[in-house]
Chains A and B, each alone.
Chain A
Amino acid sequence: MGSLARAYGRPLASVIAGIAVAWVLVLILVPLGAMVEQSLWWRDSKGDASLSIDRLYNDISLIELDLETETDPAKQAAFDQSLVEKRAEIATLEAQETNPPKTYGLANFTRMSGLHFYIFVRTIFYALLVTALALVVCYPVAYVVALASGPRKAIILMVALIVPYAINELLRVYAWLMILDYRGVINGVLQWMGFIDLDAREWIPFLENPSAVFLAMIYTYVLFMVFPMVNTLETLDRNQIEAARDLGASTFRIHRRVIIPHAKPGIAVGCIMTFMLSAGSYSVPAIMTRGQGGDWFSQLVYRQFYESNNWNMGSAYAVSLLVVCTAFILLMMRLFGVGLRDIAK
């Protein structure tokens, strides 16, 4: 702050600092804080409350019926007394039901069912698989783009990467749905070639396999993998490639010893982005499986919010996913020896 004020003067420095604080607040603290807060409490609504209320109302009706036929004033007073008691009981129960007491604790995090936990683990595994496949697909692409020069590079970038991404993500996923559907493009071609008969339901059920989701996801997130890699590969001195070749290294060794070590920060950024995006992707698995394949965890989070109407549980699920993904990324960065500082470069 002191050096800022010296460099830009007090008014401008406070504007800059204000923007930085607002950035942290709006982008990090407020949304994350709201989600964490939501996940840390629940309302103890007793499941039998409405039943008890119904029972009490029945009792009241019966007592009122008895009261009309009763002539003994002593008994009438007893009935009145019991009516007042029951009504008071109803009032407290109803108050509890409409506004149950908040309880703070970690129960939302420990209440996950075995099935949901299995889906959680499987989602992380699938997201990893998508990341690995995307890396394999994107590395050669990034290499070609980064080492191409002049107008050729612009053409490759435009045609291969920018144009597909000018199309909305939903459209792109639906396009893959159309390609892989029972009566989709691929099955249509197979029928045209005479391998299968669609009317006899001999189609290949691509969409019932998790790989359909992988495919659409890789397609959807390829750009996030390619661009960071292109960025780092572009900074590689091509003389190093030539020097390695001149010293007798094979193409494989040049990649393994010279190019990949150099591109490591870019690869790390690409993998982190792809992993985070695919672990948290809702639309791709939802559209591609149409409920026929296994759910991804993001779909469970969605259900907690909009079908179970349990926002607290949903928040807890979302926070768990975030924490595990973040921990996982830090672990991977450690394993591959990539520091935050390298990535910032």
Chain B
Amino acid sequence: MRGKDVRLDQVSIRFGDSTAVQPTDLSIQAGEFFSILGPSGCGKTTLLRTISGFIEPTAGRVLIGGEDMAGKGPNERPTALIFQNLALFPLMSVAENVAFGLEARGMRKVERLKRAQELLELVALSGYGDKKPADLSGGQRQRVAIARALAVEPAVLLLDEPLSALDLKLRQHMRSELRAIQKRVGITFIYITHDQGEALAMSDRVAVMSRGKLEQVADADTLYAEPATPFVATFVGEQNVLRGTVSSLADTVATVDTPIGRIEGRVKGPIRLGEEALLMVRPERIVLGPGGANTVAARLAARNLEGPSVHLHCAAAGQTLTVTVPNGPSVRELPEELTLSFGIDDALVYPLGALAHG
């Protein structure tokens, strides 16, 4: 099996009056594990269905392996889709399910069942061929769906939140399993999810999508450390968000007057002197005690034990700042009055824009 690259060229999708996907350019490399991350209703499933051929784009082109897919149905594209509810055929045995795509291609029964057997081995389900999907556990059904999709030797595998029905432990296990399968077969995976943990853990690159628009396309580290927009900053990971007025503006550093005082931070995006801006600091970038360029006096309001780390909810000038510190003996006897500090690099200054939560 060989992966193919997928390119979206000014693809936009409208349903009647409403725009599901705004004009989008996207280039996914062959053999890449690519995730599209976004809240429900952001258009990510629509985008996936466009790539798979169930939806024709209103404008723009979808190219797979350099070939224009216009007018080609889902059965004519080198893609296979794994549905959110898996959509296994309940009345067929597991082996028949896996062999269905080969049956549709007219392969002889003996051959296609042999091939199904090989694929079931690939997903560690040999010996389950005669069972019905209903007799399998959630994780096993998941793997049957993967084997069924791989049977038609697609160049691009499209996955529509296939792990969302599983419980937490199994979901985490399946993440590494999916990644391993992708490495083994070497084809392009396009993975849709609203779960940032899944996207960050598995993907080579992640696209964050909001309201039909791609906010940022980057690898997981960049996405977390250098979010391009306020939406990405707040959707991926936790943030302390403060609103303030830009009081001085240098090349890459801006000073913002916030309720908790003057804070210096790095400029992300077009901001202007005297205008309002958003200032964001990750909870784990704030340290207890002085040291950073920005210092804030705060009062400890609550402690949330998370196991290896502790969330401290601190009140400062009517704002709540969350600070995440590693768990240890010292955090058990903290004074009520705290000094918090963080560096200029830890604070990011964005122009006003949509946030992920509220």
Contact = CB atoms under 8 A, between A and B. Distances in A.
Interface of A: 237, 239-240, 242-250, 253, 257-258, 261-262
Given A246-B80, A257-B92, 8 more contacts: A244-B89, A244-B104, A245-B74, A245-B75, A246-B79, A247-B104, A247-B152, A262-B91
Interface in B3-60: 52-54
Given A242-B54, A247-B75, A258 B89 contact: yes
A246 B103 CA distance: 13
Contacts, number: 61
Chain A interface main SS type: helix
B105 A248 contact: yes
Contacts of A249: 75, 100-101, 103-104
Contacts of A239: 83-85, 87
Interface in B53-85: 53-54, 73-75, 79-81, 83-85
Contacts of B103: 249, 253, 257
A256 B101 CA distance: 14
Most buried by B among A247, A249, A261: A247
Contact of B87 (A243, A248, A250, A253): A243
A342 to B, nearest CB: 11
A274 B52 CA distance: 42
B151 to A, nearest CB: 8
Nearest to A253: B104
B148 interface: yes
Given A247-B75, A248-B75, A248-B152, A242 B100 contact: no
Contacts of B85: 237, 239
Interface string B157-168: 000000000000
Contacts of A242: 54, 74, 81, 83, 87
Given A242-B54, A242-B83, A243-B83, A248 B101 contact: yes
Contacts of B104: 244, 247-250, 253
Contacts of B73: 245
Contacts of B89: 240, 243-244, 257-258
Nearest to B148: A247
Contacts of B149: 247
Contacts of A250: 75, 104
A239 B148 CA distance: 14
B100 to A, nearest CB: 6
20 contacts: A237-B87, A240-B87, A240-B89, A242-B54, A243-B87, A244-B104, A245-B73, A246-B52, A246-B75, A247-B75, A247-B80, A247-B149, A248-B75, A248-B104, A248-B152, A249-B101, A249-B103, A250-B104, A257-B92, A257-B100
Contacts of A243: 81, 83, 87, 89
B79 to A, nearest CB: 8
Most-contacted residue by chain A among B73, B87, B149 (CB, 10 A): B87
Contacts of A262: 91
Contacts of A246: 52-54, 74-75, 79-81
A249 B84 CA distance: 20
A323 B83 CA distance: 48
Nearest to B52: A246
Nearest to A261: B91
Given A239-B85, A242-B54, A242-B74, A247 B101 contact: yes
Interface string B221-256: 000000000000000000000000000000000000
A245 B79 CA distance: 12
